[in-house]
A and B are shown apart, each in its own frame.
Chain A
């Protein structure tokens, strides 16, 4: 097997998916049945015929995925999930603050601080009861609150289960919170007590706090220089903060299928890595130390952005790729993909239900497995031809065609998922990507340069922000034009999961068929070898 990690992680992911579909089955019962079944399988198949050992391995990995999902989502008796029903009226809670409190303006124009509390104890009457699980605290803001990530706090508030609220076609707020294992919401009024029991002493959390402050400073700098909607666009591209995104601008990106540039993923991380390496090299650092420094810096970047599956996917893949080069190992992209998928799902199996995670891995899978098949089938790349002998004009045409085929491969692979999650099919994406990707490169590059320059020479930073506004305006203008073309996008009400599964079944069959045809044609010398 050429890519063992890819195969293992995909089977592992399938196991997790099965557990996610059949939630509610007892973990103990499932583990017992699985272990017994596996032992019988190993004894029977491996001793009688060795060719079945692969299937046994398949089963072990598949069941491991299922067990991992079940154990991760296991809810103990003292979990807030089980206790929330019996709690009425304001109750005291103690626990550790799990993230930096975020100041939010609600739709009722009552500003709130929002943070996640890892609960430790509840006091509903006279005595404290031990409790576990996470709750989202919404604290009415009357001034600044003096708490931070890692602090142990005590507060009074009313608790309830999260309400199911549909905002997009497939997005449900309750499912979203449950995916993060937050099973309760605590509402705390501005006049209710909230005090710090113990300050944080963990140095790692201090680093995270510092990075969060850095993110806020960067966000403020962007807000000072850029007017809406440009502020929201650059904030989303650089900091993953989509709160300031203008709904009209967002609509343009959705309808042209280019919303991916507003979610930090491989494209952005790739650009940032390229920039860091280039800057380090300009300052004379040798290649290998520059790669190690880049890995450290992008890990800090991922920590600054926060818990985003697509960011971690891109950062882990890039780190493995760079470290492979440092230790003189050939980087096999499919294995890196598999290792990243496996690691992320081991850390958090609930990522399997995260739209960003699914789309991110689907798009990379399209680049690894679909794009080469299409490229060869269309005869864009023939092996054995010296690239230096190709005329410049032809080379440009080939590069353009490659970009077009890459864009098409990604769109064809991700279209049913986008239709399922967002209720839209956007054929214009193929064309839009040809414009959006280079402009995204320029915007991210200029954005980072402007933020750094603001620390040194603010006037130069102001100049670059002016150019960013210009680029943004041009981009929005072009996308608006593309959006108005006939059949640019088709809105659909429902797209069943059955269609998605059916689509991928036939799509994989088609890929295998094309590969076979190509290999037969190679043997018969119909295509250049």
Chain B
């Protein structure tokens, strides 16, 4: 391997810095999502306006995993379904995604919205 120039060393430094910063943000988000799930489980009467409502037509993988009972696999399936069939037209459409049945839908229906109704409310 040839000696790395200063610019090449800089590139490697940028990658490592980005990985560290990204990891910190990622862990922080996971912690927030975990706390959020715990709160929902512990206190179902929690005021709904304090909870984040996700737009399932715009939410990305990390955001979808914040929903109760939705892990990375189901989140990926939701995005794949959206990509293939176009945006969800109603909230119930999410039950067409493999792995999301009426029971799961019932537990998340108050925390989701579709574009045009409640977009990213806090």
Residues of A within 8 A of B (CB): 105, 111, 220, 223-228, 231, 274-275, 278, 281-284, 286, 442, 445-446, 449, 460, 462-470
By secondary structure, the B interface counts as helix
List chain A residues, Cβ under 8 A from B5.
281
Contact in complex: B1, A227 (CB < 8 Å): no
- Choose, from B10-18, B39-47, B90-98, B103-111, the stretch at the interface: B10-18
Contact in complex: A445, B14 (CB < 8 Å): yes
Which residue of chain A lies nearest to B10 when distances are taken between CB atoms in the complex? Answer: A278
Contact in complex: B26, A462 (CB < 8 Å): yes
Least CB distance from A75 to B in Å reads 38
List 13 additional A-B contacts (Cβ < 8 Å) besides A223-B83, A227-B60.
Answer: A105-B86, A223-B60, A228-B58, A274-B7, A284-B2, A286-B2, A445-B14, A446-B15, A460-B19, A462-B22, A464-B19, A464-B22, A470-B21
Contact with A along B48-64 (1 / 0, CB 8 A): 00000000001111110
Contact in complex: B4, A467 (CB < 8 Å): no
Contact in complex: A464, B18 (CB < 8 Å): yes
A467-B2 contact in complex given A220-B83, A275-B11, A281-B8, C-beta closer than 8 Å: no
Contact in complex: A281, B18 (CB < 8 Å): no
Question: How far does the alpha carbon of A252 sit from the alpha carbon of B25 in the complex, in Å?
Answer: 26
Question: How far does the alpha carbon of A449 sit from the alpha carbon of B1 in the complex, in Å?
Answer: 21
Q: Determine whether B66 belongs to the interface, using a CB cutoff of 8 Å to chain A.
A: no
Could you show 23 A-B contacts with beta carbons less than 8 Å apart?
A220-B83, A223-B60, A224-B79, A231-B60, A278-B7, A281-B4, A281-B8, A282-B4, A282-B8, A284-B1, A284-B2, A446-B14, A446-B15, A449-B15, A462-B22, A462-B62, A463-B18, A464-B19, A465-B22, A466-B22, A466-B23, A467-B21, A468-B18
List chain A residues, Cβ under 8 A from B23.
463, 466
A224-B15 contact in complex given A463-B26, A467-B25, C-beta closer than 8 Å: no
Least CB distance from B33 to A in Å reads 14
Which residue of chain A lies nearest to B20 when distances are taken between CB atoms in the complex? Answer: A463
Rank and list the top 3 A-B pairs by shortest CB-CB distance, nearest first: A463-B22, A466-B22, A467-B18
Question: How far does the alpha carbon of A407 sit from the alpha carbon of B1 in the complex, in Å?
Answer: 37
Total number of B residues with any Cβ neighbor in A under 8 Å:
27
Question: How far does the alpha carbon of A278 sit from the alpha carbon of B2 in the complex, in Å?
Answer: 11
Least CB distance from A52 to B in Å reads 51
Contact in complex: A278, B8 (CB < 8 Å): yes
A281-B2 contact in complex given A105-B86, A225-B60, A227-B60, C-beta closer than 8 Å: yes
List chain A residues, Cβ under 8 A from B26.
462-463, 466
List chain A residues, Cβ under 8 A from B21.
466-467, 470
List chain A residues, Cβ under 8 A from B15.
446, 449, 464
List chain B residues, Cβ under 8 A from A282.
1, 4, 8
* Most chain A beta carbons < 10 A, residue from B29, B61, B86: B61
A227-B11 contact in complex given A111-B86, A466-B22, A470-B25, C-beta closer than 8 Å: no
Question: How far does the alpha carbon of A231 sit from the alpha carbon of B60 in the complex, in Å?
Answer: 10
Residues of B within 8 A of A (CB): 1-2, 4-5, 7-8, 11, 14-15, 18-19, 21-23, 25-26, 29, 58-63, 76, 79, 83, 86
By secondary structure, the A interface counts as helix
List chain A residues, Cβ under 8 A from B59.
227
Contact in complex: A446, B18 (CB < 8 Å): yes
List chain A residues, Cβ under 8 A from B18.
446, 449, 463-464, 467-468
Least CB distance from B83 to A in Å reads 6
Contact in complex: B14, A442 (CB < 8 Å): yes
Least CB distance from A211 to B in Å reads 19
Contact in complex: B22, A278 (CB < 8 Å): no
Contact in complex: B58, A467 (CB < 8 Å): no
List chain B residues, Cβ under 8 A from A220.
83
Least CB distance from B68 to A in Å reads 20
Contact in complex: B11, A224 (CB < 8 Å): no
Question: How far does the alpha carbon of A72 sit from the alpha carbon of B79 in the complex, in Å?
Answer: 45
List chain A residues, Cβ under 8 A from B1.
282-284
Least CB distance from A212 to B in Å reads 16
Least CB distance from A399 to B in Å reads 14
A445-B60 contact in complex given A224-B79, A466-B22, A466-B25, C-beta closer than 8 Å: no
Contact in complex: B60, A226 (CB < 8 Å): yes
Question: How far does the alpha carbon of A278 sit from the alpha carbon of B8 in the complex, in Å?
Answer: 6
Least CB distance from A494 to B in Å reads 37
Least CB distance from A107 to B in Å reads 14
Least CB distance from B54 to A in Å reads 11
Which residue of chain A lies nearest to B82 when distances are taken between CB atoms in the complex? Answer: A223
Question: How far does the alpha carbon of A463 sit from the alpha carbon of B14 in the complex, in Å?
Answer: 13
